[in-house]
Amino acid sequence: MKSYYLFVLIVLIFGNHLAAQEYNIVIKGGHVIDAKNNIDAVMDVAIKDGKIAKVAKTIETKQAVQVVDAQGFYVTPGIIDIHAHVFAGTVPDHYLANSFSALPADGFTFRVGVTTVVDCGDAGWKTFPTFKENIIDRSKTRVLSFLNIVGEGMRGGAYEQDTSDMDAKLSANAANRFKEYIVGFKVAHYEEASWIPVDRAVEAGELAGGIPVIVDFGGDDSHPPLSIEKLFFDHLRPGDIYTHVYTELDRRDPIVDTKSRQLKPFVKKARERGIIFDVGYGGASFDYGQAIPATKAGLYPTTISTDLHTGSMNSAMKDMPNLMSTFLTLGMQLPEVVKASTWAPAKAIKREELGNLSEGSPADVAVFNLRQGDFGFWDRKGKKLIGNQRFECEMTIRDGKIVYDLNGIADPIVVH
């Protein structure tokens, strides 16, 4: 470990001439899974100036400032969680909008391999500037946003029922102004049997140049649920996202018929049409009663996401690796699980520079250990599946810097 001091010495002596080293980091001997580039093999990965510099069978490590020993591990693009709630704050009675139910991103991302989170509707056009100032600009995690179609964002209660605050034009204006951060629009928690929130969000999506909407389909026990078939075929566009796909709640039309336990036939057609099915696991939004029959019928999620908030973090959900492991246990193949957590979400939010290891892409990389053993994966109703594999994050790299190293597999060990 004297090498650390050597490293410091090198930095002191050469300063900016570190560029004299060919690479900043070389990750050696890991099994690379990169869905965009169809890589599923043991490869080395080199990083330089925050970008992926090379992926090849053998890369010389003498030319690297830091070498990561990834033998026996999986090397993937940094995980992209498109459904999280990170507008943490202390405004009373503001639910997920600058308040106590949301979480600060950095403590829930790098340690589990996530390099990009999309805040899912906490901010609306009125509150986005505060979200940007408090969260986006202060987080080391790459934080993006689905802007709530409600101007006040996810303030809870009656605020989210106010259709007069669902302004497609103003929402689209904000999205156009903050193109770098806003990737789409969110509909959530609307209770009445009305299509207004969905239609306004889709309208905003069109006005903002064809960006997607993500729909939490709300509902209320006082009336029959709106039809998801109508939602998928008459209201949403290809590329729009249906989150909480494995929910089973009385107030919502489920994808699996609760009597026959069969996947409704139109669901696969909706996927063929281009509707994106997102997990959005959350506190009460994932149920094995839906997920087991649906995945047996072949309906795996397009994108895996957490719906991270204070109510889900310590419960059945926990974190991305727990959900990825859950889907492994449900029979999804490992490369498909990784794809649904990297390249598929990158495409869903139209950020195709992310979620892959192409040369020149931002060097967001995760290293996973696939632990072997007896593990339990349970849902909110207490149903448990036993699995023998669990993803554990060994290392996370964001924009070419090591930001998490569980066991110190880098040499020298320097965490930013």
Partner 1 sequence: MKSYCILFALILSSLGHSVIAQEYNIVIKGGHVIDAKNNIDSVMDVAIKDGKIAEVAKNIDAKKAVQMVDAKGLYVTPGLIDIHGHVFAGTEPRHAYSNGFNALPPDGFTFRVGVTTIVDCGGSGWKSFPTFKENIVDRSETRVLAFLNIVGEGMRGGTYEQDTHDMDSKLSANVARQYPQDIVGFKVAHYNGPEWTPVDRAVEAGNMADLPVIIDFGGSNPPLSIEELYMKHLRPGDIYTHAFGQLDSREAIVDLKTKKVKPFVLEAQKRGIIFDVGYGGISFAYSQAIPALKDGFYPNTISTDLHTGSMNNAMKDMLNVMSKFMLMGMDLTEVIAASTWHPAKAIKRENLGNLSVGAPADVILLEVMEGNFGFFDYTGYKMEGNKKLECELTIRDGKIVYDLNGIADPIVVR
Interface with partner 1 (CB under 8 A): 1, 3-4, 7, 88-90, 98, 100, 103-104, 106-108, 110-111, 134, 138, 310, 313-316, 318, 374-378, 381-384, 403-409, 412-415
Task: List, in sequence order, every beta strand (DSSP E) within 78-196.
Answer: 79-84, 114-124, 142-148, 182-187
Q: Tokens representing 326?
A: 């859950």
Q: What would you report as the CA-atom Rg of the chain, rounded to the nearest whole angstrom?
A: 22
Nearest distance in Å: CB 187, partner 1: 27
Nearest distance in Å: CB 87, partner 1: 10
> Measured from the CB atom, is 30 or 205 closer to partner 1?
30
Nearest distance in Å: CB 94, partner 1: 12
Q: Please state, in angstroms and rounded to a whole number, the distance separating the CA atoms of residues 95 and 111.
A: 25
> Measured from the CB atom, is 76 or 325 closer to partner 1?
325
Instruction: Give DSSP secondary structure letters for 242-291.
Output: E-STT---TTS--SB-TTT--B-HHHHHHHHHTPEEB---TTTS--HHHH
> Measured from the CB atom, is 200 or 390 closer to partner 1?
390
Q: Please state, in angstroms and rounded to a whole number, the distance separating the CA atoms of residues 176 and 178.
A: 6
Q: Please state, in angstroms and rounded to a whole number, the distance separating the CA atoms of residues 259 and 289.
A: 11
Residue type (1 letter), 364:
D
Backbone angles phi, psi at 273, to 5 degrees: -70, -20
Nearest distance in Å: CB 98, partner 1: 7
Nearest distance in Å: CB 318, partner 1: 8
> Measured from the CB atom, is 278 or 394 closer to partner 1?
394
Encode 15-29: b = buried (16+ Cβ within 10 Å), e = exposed: eeeeeebbbbbbbbe
> Measured from the CB atom, is 200 or 309 closer to partner 1?
309
Nearest distance in Å: CB 127, partner 1: 13
> Measured from the CB atom, is 274 or 376 closer to partner 1?
376
User: 362, 106 in Cβ contact below 8 A?
Assistant: no
> Measured from the CB atom, is 111 or 273 closer to partner 1?
111
Nearest distance in Å: CB 415, partner 1: 5
